[in-house]
Structure 1
């Protein structure tokens, strides 16, 4: 079984699993499909992290020349971090999950991340929403269209993610095998 970590974020216990095992991805994605306690929209947080190459100069150069190492999916209480670069092949369950018509995947920079995932792994997503423009439109604050996830979380939820992010402070290279 992959690595399992639990932490508290804004009063909610979140279980995070890191895995590179196809069967475990299949099982955990099934957890995302279980009916929620409400009949609202099914929204899944989405992110990728890259394998970093230290010899690149700019962030753009690092992004362009680095491969997607992990795919992160979160539904509010469960997070799944899939080590794409250590899988033998992309699980069919993942490909199918990302194409479900009743699920919306949200992130900052999701369009660029999806283009990179398509190119590197053949991964596509049916319903993807860019959070910045959505927040700007809903809250009628145009500057939010250009904000990162940390700034959006403060603006929308008054929550400082930097204080609650246990994993991002640990890893510079998400491509390492022993996350």
Structure 2
């Protein structure tokens, strides 16, 4: 993929299609989504922003980098969603979820006309560690779909398998990990996980699903990963 940089330093999105005018895929006057809501999960309230706005993402990244950390690196819960691949063509990542500081950002990258320079720098920031379950696949796909690199990441399932010498944990899903280490039980219905993540307006179920995954990724990383790894 060839990357060209826009005048403001942002990068044109190779998968962007203006939902109001699909015939003009690089129209910068795109329909921009910004939704804010509280997602309730057990006793936790996850303050969530769903957006394709570059400026909103810029602001959230700045807030995250300003969070005081007792470690060398700031932990950020990370996850991504995309439409299920039902044909030979592979669907690109539709949303990126980032959780830190009691807030979740669901960035609808598929509907963003430009990929913000702030996101590019944030993902390669040596003082940020992205954590998740099965994060390796997300990181690889993000690089393949958008040429975005995430060098500083830890798969908490693989980390726990090695730390506790339990090989079975290596392939554990986030449900198993959350129940084992956080005592939190939840459901991951396939009707949501395999739904249309390319929607301009995500459903409440999708917002709940995406927010909880990023939240639990952060909590697992915060619980399991010691300062010597950060």
TM range (shorter): 0.7 to 0.9
C-alpha distance after superposition, 1:91-138 (max 9, x if no partner)? 110111111111110112222211111111111112011121111122
The partner residue of 2:196 within 170, 173, 179 is: 173
C-alpha distance after superposition, 1:68-113 (max 9, x if no partner)? 0000011151100110110112111011111111111011222221
The partner residue of 1:47 within 75, 79, 82 is: 79
C-alpha distance after superposition, 1:23-80 (max 9, x if no partner)? 11101111211223x5134111111100235x44xxxx7xx72210000011151100
Change (3 A) 1:23 1:120: same
State the alpha-carbon separation in 2 of the partners of residues 9 and 172 from structure 1: 21
Structure 1 residues 105-144: aligned runs within 5 Å: 105-144=130-169
State the alpha-carbon separation in 1 of the partners of residues 169 and 76 from structure 2: 20
State the alpha-carbon separation in 2 of the partners of residues 3 and 15 from structure 1: 11
State the alpha-carbon separation in 1 of the partners of residues 193 and 135 from structure 2: 23
The partner residue of 1:67 within 92, 97, 108 is: 92
SS at match of 1:65: coil
Deviation at 1:141, TM superposition (A): 2.3
Tell me, which stretches of 5 or more residues in structure 2 are unaligned? Answer: 1-32, 203-230
Structure 1 residues 1-179: aligned runs within 5 Å: 2-36=34-68, 38-40=69-71, 41-53=73-85, 55-56=86-87, 65-75=90-100, 77-162=102-187, 169=192, 172-179=195-202
Contact kept? 2:161, 2:168, Cα under 8 Å = yes
SS at match of 1:161: coil
* TM-score calculated relative to the size of structure 1: 0.84
Contact kept? 1:48, 1:71, Cα under 8 Å = yes
Change (3 A) 1:27 1:76: closer
C-alpha distance after superposition, 1:118-169 (max 9, x if no partner)? 111111112011121111122332211111111111111111132xx79x84
Tell me, which stretches of 5 or more residues in structure 1 are unaligned? Answer: none
State the alpha-carbon separation in 2 of the partners of residues 43 and 173 from structure 1: 29
Contact kept? 1:12, 1:77, Cα under 8 Å = no
State the alpha-carbon separation in 2 of the partners of residues 155 and 141 from structure 1: 13
Alpha carbon RMSD of aligned pairs, Å? 2.3
Contact kept? 2:97, 2:105, Cα under 8 Å = yes
Instruction: Find the structure with the greater CA-based Rg.
Output: 2
